[in-house]
Amino acid sequence: MRKILIAVIPGLLVAIVVLAAGAVLYIRTTGLAAQPDPGRLETRLARRLRALAVPAEIRTMANPVAASAEATAAGMRHFARYCSLCHGNDGAGTGTAYGRGFFPKVPDMRLADTQQLSDGELFYIIENGVRFTGMPAFGTGTADPQGETLVWQLIHFVRRLPTLGAGELAEMEALNPL
């Protein structure tokens, strides 16, 4: 055992020094600034890891709120009040003071990367937020059973984002907090 430890310790020390040097280099070269876009590899990896965090039984959940014009409209009103600040009314994430300022950036939710997420994945993200990013958790847990219904209505609206019309955008503007 002692022999193994003696053989392993130098390698471990070198690894710690290399990791520490890498961390200092990362901090010095990036300045930990939020302005740049993360690299493509970093983005892919982060999305994979995020997908891994969603339990299978939630990923495969179907939206329990039936699709209807009312459900989408309720989601739209909620989105205008609580989400547009970062995501923009159109979901593009480019038209707001906050949207472009995050690292990672707010994604364009009209595009395939978001639309390909299952309803369950969207539910998990909105309920729990995404750690190490600017995406807050909106889940109210058991304190407010209505909260989950709101999230499922929001998901109906997220599905509507790619085909949003000028009338809906005007309606949302009237509800925006800022």
Residues near ligand HEC, by CB under 6 A: 50, 79, 82-83, 85-87, 98, 102, 104, 106-107, 109, 113-114, 117, 122, 125-126, 130, 133-136, 138, 154, 158
* Shortest Å distance, C-beta 29 to ligand HEC: 22
* Shortest Å distance, C-beta 163 to ligand HEC: 17
* Shortest Å distance, C-beta 112 to ligand HEC: 9
CA–CA separation, 100 and 107 (whole Å): 9
| Torsion, Cα of 111, 126, 118, 130 (10° steps) | 80
Alpha-carbon distance values, 105 to 32, 73, 97, 133 (Å) = 14, 26, 12, 9
**91: closest CA among 71, 74, 113?**
113
Query: Which of 89/165 has CB closer to ligand HEC?
Result: 89
Query: Which of 1/97 has CB closer to ligand HEC?
Result: 97
Query: Which of 17/113 has CB closer to ligand HEC?
Result: 113
**107: closest CA among 44, 160, 60, 58?**
44
